[in-house]
Amino acid sequence: MTGPLHDLKLIEFAGIGPGPFAAMLFADMGATVVRIERKAAMRRPLSPLNLGPFDVLSRGRLSVALDIKRPAGREAALRLIEQADALIEGFRPGVMERLGLGPEVCLARNPKLVYGRMTGWGQTGPLAHAAGHDINYIALSGALHAIGTTEQPLPPLNLVGDFGGGALMLAWGMMAALWEAQRSGQGQVVDAAMTDGAAYLMTMIYGVKAAGLWSNQRQANLLDGGAFFYGTYECSDGKFVAVGPIEPHFYALFLEKLGVDDPELADQFDPSAWPQQRAKLAALFRTRTRDEWCALLEGTDACVAPVLDLDEAPLHPHNQARQTFVEVDGIVQPAPAPRLSRTPAASPAPPPEPGADTEKVLRAWGFGEAEIEHLREVGAIE
């Protein structure tokens, strides 16, 4: 066993998006994560919501297929939960309660359990029971309004709501609750809402706004593409470089490396001049290819990097030197992060087939052969 969480046991109820990402964080750091799947998941066709062997968010798990709507399946799930340190579920509020697996029932069976709940709107509030996705949740937090072009907001993939404001906040909250449970002997419920988490990620921006240094106009601020020295520029080959020399001494070096001695580019913090300054830099960057600019600027304090696509990023020398990406069963994917010096994470295992580990897990967690056979007979497992 490897990783700092190697003796932690976690039950994950299968879902999509942030719940699986949070469970992956635990699995990557060595926790034993048992995913409880619906029996029907064993027969799902490949689709955007079921990536099968390409579902790298599901790596490193053990998969148990249970029919938790049957009393025997529900009781089997509770027996697993009794032995777990933590649980992750990502259903709408009230679903787990209707299944007989809500926090009250589970904490009665396992008082030290940390019960992690992942939703978009949270367990309470007027929107709690409404459907939604990442774009809706970050819209409510103020984050979406701040990202995009002057003309319209643009969704930043699903990184701010699902994964940053959702999964990472859920994992952080659960680790805090697990730390406290070691001392108190008592578990608790972690209510992770993507609206809350996305707002939390915007803490600095709200502070800058309160100071009068940020406006509600997109592409008019320091970090949203407004500043000409913090953005991307197209090169002669149609590829882009990312430019970010915010500090004056970095900016001075940036101009020096470019060979630019233009009085109109000297003052970097006059927003009224930013459009003209951007146009000058844009014209300059279009005179060479991306790789030519990177040969001149990358790795210096000029703060310039190539904008790599998803095929290029794993091949970059820095990413290769740090092994930022790994290949598992022929699928290139990001490696576990961050790095730990004494108890590093192991190389991830591939995602399991739904239900692949049902009998193995049940045996390891104390079920006898007769009990397993009974679960099969009543249709709780296959």
CATH number, position 372: 3.40.50.10540
Do 76 and 367 form a contact (C-beta atoms < 8 A)?
yes
pLDDT classification of 199: cutoffs 50, 70, 90:
very high
**pLDDT score at 237:** 98
Number of H helices, E strands in the chain: 14, 11
Does 382 fall in a domain? no
Do 134 and 255 reside in the same domain of the chain? no
Does 206 fall in a domain? no
Does 19 fall in a domain? yes
Active site residues: 133, 162
pLDDT classification of 1: cutoffs 50, 70, 90:
low
Average of per-residue pLDDT across 175-188:
98
Do 256 and 301 reside in the same domain of the chain? yes
Do 91 and 27 reside in the same domain of the chain? yes
- Tell me which residue has tokens 């967690």: 365
Give, in order, the Cα–Cα distances in Å from 130 to each of 84, 124, 198.
30, 11, 18
Do 272 and 344 reside in the same domain of the chain? no
Do 16 and 141 reside in the same domain of the chain? yes
Over 80: is that where the pLDDT of 39 sits? Answer: no
Does 189 fall in a domain? yes
Residue 302 half-sphere exposure toward CB, CA atoms < 13 A: 21
Q: Which amino acid is residue 345, in one-letter code?
A: A
Q: How far apart are CA 19 and CA 115, in angstroms?
A: 12
pLDDT classification of 41: cutoffs 50, 70, 90:
low
Do 89 and 186 reside in the same domain of the chain? yes
Do 304 and 254 form a contact (C-beta atoms < 8 A)?
yes
Do 165 and 88 reside in the same domain of the chain? yes
Do 93 and 161 reside in the same domain of the chain? yes
Do 268 and 369 reside in the same domain of the chain? no
pLDDT digits (tens, 9 = 90+) for 69-88: 999 999 999 999 999 999 99
- Beta bridge partners, 153, equal 148
**pLDDT score at 2:** 81
Over 70: is that where the pLDDT of 106 sits? Answer: yes
Number of structural domains found in the chain: 2
Average of per-residue pLDDT across 111-126:
98
Does 313 fall in a domain? no
Average of per-residue pLDDT across 13-28:
96
**Beta strands 86-89; 9-13: pairing state:** parallel
Average pLDDT along the chain: 96
Lowest mean pLDDT among 40-44, 45-49, 115-119, 343-347: 40-44
Q: Give, for 82, the enclosing helix (H) or strand (E).
A: helix 71-82
Q: Is the dihedral of CA 124, 127, 130, 131 positive or negative?
A: negative
Does 312 fall in a domain? no
**pLDDT score at 17:** 87
Average of per-residue pLDDT across 226-235:
98
Backbone angles phi, psi at 23, to 5 degrees: -65, -35
**pLDDT score at 346:** 85
Average of per-residue pLDDT across 271-286:
97
For 121, the domain range is: 9-201+326-377
Do 51 and 158 reside in the same domain of the chain? yes
Do 137 and 161 form a contact (C-beta atoms < 8 A)?
yes
Percent of the chain with pLDDT over 90: 94
pLDDT classification of 48: cutoffs 50, 70, 90:
confident
**pLDDT score at 208:** 97
Q: Enumerate residues 6+ apart whose C-beta is below 8 A from 73.
A: 66, 67, 375, 380, 381
Does 230 fall in a domain? no
Backbone angles phi, psi at 117, to 5 degrees: -115, 120
Q: How far apart are CA 185 and CA 336, in angstroms?
A: 30
Q: How far apart are CA 282 and CA 234, in angstroms?
A: 7
Domain end call among 255, 275, 306: 306
More confident residue, 45 or 230: 230
Do 38 and 82 reside in the same domain of the chain? yes
How far the first Cα of the chain sits from its last, in Å, is: 29
CATH number, position 284: 3.30.1540.10
Over 70: is that where the pLDDT of 3 sits? Answer: yes
Does 106 fall in a domain? yes
Q: In this structure, what token pair is assigned to residue 20? A: 């699986």
pLDDT digits (tens, 9 = 90+) for 327-374: 999 999 999 999 999 999 988 999 999 999 999 999 999 999 999 999
Radius of gyration of the chain (CA): 25
Three-state DSSP at 76 gives helix
pLDDT classification of 46: cutoffs 50, 70, 90:
confident
Over 70: is that where the pLDDT of 123 sits? Answer: yes
Q: How far apart are CA 63 and CA 73, in angstroms?
A: 15
Over 80: is that where the pLDDT of 42 sits? Answer: no
Q: Is the dihedral of CA 364, 87, 69, 49 positive or negative?
A: negative
Q: How far apart are CA 267 and CA 257, in angstroms?
A: 17
What's the CA angle centered on 104, arms 99 and 109, to 5 degrees? 95
Report the 10 Å Cβ neighbour count for 218. 19
Q: Is the dihedral of CA 91, 95, 101, 103 positive or negative?
A: positive
**pLDDT score at 43:** 61
Do 44 and 105 reside in the same domain of the chain? yes
Average of per-residue pLDDT across 173-180:
98
Residue 31 half-sphere exposure toward CB, CA atoms < 13 A: 24
